[in-house]
Amino acid sequence: MLTHAENELMCRVGPGAGMGAAMRRYWLPALASSELPEPAGDPVHVELLGEHFVAFRDSEGRVGLLDEACCHRGASLLLGRVEGCGLRCIYHGWKFAVDGKVLETPNVPDGKFKDRIRARAYPVRESGGLIWTYLGPAELEPAFPEWPWMALPDAHRINAMALVPCNYVQILEGLVDSSHLSVLHITPLSGAGNSELHFARKTEHMAFDAAPRIEAELTDFGFHYVALRDIKGPEGSRVEARVASFIAPCFIANPNGDLFFAVVPVNDEVSRFYHVWWDAERKIGEEPLRSQQLKFVGLDDEALARHGLTEETTLGPLRPSRENRWHQSRELVRKGHFTGIYSFTQEDVAVCVSGGTIRDRSKEMLSIADHAIGRLYRVLLATAKRVAEGGEPVGLKADTRGIRGANGTLAPGQNWHTLVPSHQAPRGLHSSDSAA
């Protein structure tokens, strides 16, 4: 349970908001590489943390992220033309390089004028199928995070993104909430036994225990938590452990061990829900594996569009809402489907969005099953407060290369920490902040 003020602090991410200042201290995905597919293609609009930008890829393939409003007199650079190594504003023809250097000001007779000014541009890195940026103060720019999947070629990775009309915390909550899996997702999970998909096989045992034991602990990157399930089988009983990691401010390493999530606020009420799967051996980014995986979880282009989860569909009648009952079919429920909702992604979206765009947490009743949810609130609030007090954001210096999600059968007496050997205990203030 959180007070109204705590909830506001945790959820609001615009310029000037507490969590907004904290979020701006990290590298964040701004868009997918696939949204800027070719050199010198059309510029695209990017909304991130409630601010508007334009992204473009110049003729050399470099990506630039500039304020959407032209630094001359504010026309939208979304109208601009990518010409060679720059983006030209169509109002007076000023032309900008990806780093904000002003290349031409054709309506100004003084040829040196352009050397005295600069457009606001943000640092950009393209890695792992995502275009990352840092919006914070230049002097505080942190090292670029290296995730294990970034080193793999595109063919060994699947990137997907759903645009979800609710606050980012609501999506993160679902990702650190192991106990919903065997309820909300019981229908797609119980069909998983027949599937050849790795993802399906990794989750099928969860259908047999709806009340796992949850343990959560702070780490130097945020926190990790384990769901322990006692599974009774013909050979006796065993304990299955699934460890998820929350990496501040908005990243999750899923217990499957090959799935990374970034839940990035577009603004306070809309979030980009990025998924990255990777496999060092198999070319999962190629067909038919790619489409099979995306279809299984409801993230294929057709399913996303049909449920209003894309840029093109989110503003129309397909946007998940009370009016369309968040895409629930009561007929399917009557036929025995537990939720009557299409697949994993749409089930998650329905429960996240139906709680309200920014959920009121002052009346919720957290239970022992929600241990990790409480941790999530505490780490996010600690991050916002520390940044407001001039301290260092949680997890900024953690070595991302060793952070993982993991799962496995525990041998008798085996501690679940052995599944995540490189995770470190928190340093400094983080532990006392978060215990508050």
User: Which residues of this chain interact with ligand FES, rule CB under 6 A?
Assistant: 70, 72-75, 89, 91-92, 94
75 binds, among Fe ion, ligand FES, none (CB under 5 to 8 A by kind): ligand FES
Residue showing the smallest CB distance to Fe ion in the complex: 348
91 binds, among Fe ion, ligand FES, none (CB under 5 to 8 A by kind): ligand FES
208 binds, among ligand FES, Fe ion, none (CB under 5 to 8 A by kind): none
Buried b vs exposed e over 212-235: b needs ≥16 C-beta within 10 Å? bbbbbebbbbbbbbbbbbeeeeee
Continuous H helices in 338-395: 344-353, 371-388
218 binds, among Fe ion, ligand FES, none (CB under 5 to 8 A by kind): none
Judged by beta carbon, residue 223 or residue 344, the one nearer Fe ion is: 344
Judged by beta carbon, residue 240 or residue 348, the one nearer Fe ion is: 348
95 binds, among ligand FES, Fe ion, none (CB under 5 to 8 A by kind): none
The helix (run of H) or strand (run of E) holding residue 10 is helix 4-11
Judged by beta carbon, residue 72 or residue 290, the one nearer ligand FES is: 72
Nearest-approach distance from CB 106 to ligand FES, in angstroms? 9
Judged by beta carbon, residue 71 or residue 214, the one nearer ligand FES is: 71
The tokens describing 303, both together, are 């399913």
202 binds, among Fe ion, ligand FES, none (CB under 5 to 8 A by kind): none
Judged by beta carbon, residue 52 or residue 198, the one nearer ligand FES is: 52
Q: Are 101 and 93 in contact, with CB atoms under 8 Å apart?
A: no
Nearest-approach distance from CB 89 to ligand FES, in angstroms? 3
Judged by beta carbon, residue 203 or residue 400, the one nearer Fe ion is: 203
427 binds, among Fe ion, ligand FES, none (CB under 5 to 8 A by kind): none
Rounded to whole angstroms, how far apart are CA atoms 97 and 65? 10
What secondary structure does DSSP assign to 35-50, as a single string?
Answer: GS-STT---EEEEETT
Contacts made by residues 284-290, CB under 8 angstroms, sequence distance 24+: 284/155, 284/156, 284/157, 284/158, 285/154, 285/155, 285/156, 285/157, 285/158, 286/155, 290/158
Q: How many angstroms separate the first and last alpha carbons of the chain?
A: 13
Contacts (Cβ under 8 Å, ≥6 apart) of 195 = 201, 296
The tokens describing 237, both together, are 């009983």
The burial class, CB within 10 Å (0-12 / 13-18 / 19+), for 302 is exposed
Nearest-approach distance from CB 185 to Fe ion, in angstroms? 6
Nearest-approach distance from CB 138 to Fe ion, in angstroms? 38
Is residue 348 near Fe ion by the rule CB under 5 A?
yes
What secondary structure does DSSP assign to 74-136, as a single string?
Answer: --BGGG-EEETTEEE-TTT--EE-TTSBEEE-TT-S-TTGGGG-B--B--EEEETTEEEEE-S
Identity at 433, one-letter amino acid code: D
Nearest-approach distance from CB 78 to ligand FES, in angstroms? 12
348 binds, among Fe ion, ligand FES, none (CB under 5 to 8 A by kind): Fe ion
417 binds, among ligand FES, Fe ion, none (CB under 5 to 8 A by kind): none
Stretch that binds Fe ion, among 85-93, 134-142, 267-275, 340-348 (CB under 5 A): 340-348
The helix (run of H) or strand (run of E) holding residue 290 is helix 289-297
Site size for Fe ion (CB under 5 A): 1
Nearest-approach distance from CB 29 to ligand FES, in angstroms? 28
Nearest-approach distance from CB 7 to Fe ion, in angstroms? 22
CA atoms within 13 A on the CB side of 108: 16
Nearest-approach distance from CB 90 to ligand FES, in angstroms? 8
CA distances, 418 to each of 216, 243, 411 (Å): 15, 11, 11
92 binds, among ligand FES, Fe ion, none (CB under 5 to 8 A by kind): ligand FES
Residues paired with residue 78 on neighbouring β-strands, in sequence order: none
Stretch that binds Fe ion, among 144-152, 317-325, 345-353, 402-410 (CB under 5 A): 345-353
70 binds, among Fe ion, ligand FES, none (CB under 5 to 8 A by kind): ligand FES
3-state SS assignment for residue 322? coil
Judged by beta carbon, residue 40 or residue 103, the one nearer ligand FES is: 103
Judged by beta carbon, residue 70 or residue 247, the one nearer ligand FES is: 70
Is residue 268 near Fe ion by the rule CB under 5 A?
no
- Between CA 385 and CA 394, with CA 388 as vertex, the angle to 5 degrees is 55
The tokens describing 406, both together, are 């993991």
Nearest-approach distance from CB 38 to ligand FES, in angstroms? 24
Q: Could you give the angle at which helices 344-353 and 289-297 cross, rounded to 10 degrees?
A: 40
Judged by beta carbon, residue 348 or residue 370, the one nearer Fe ion is: 348
Q: Which residues make up the interface to Fe ion (CB under 5 A)? A: 348
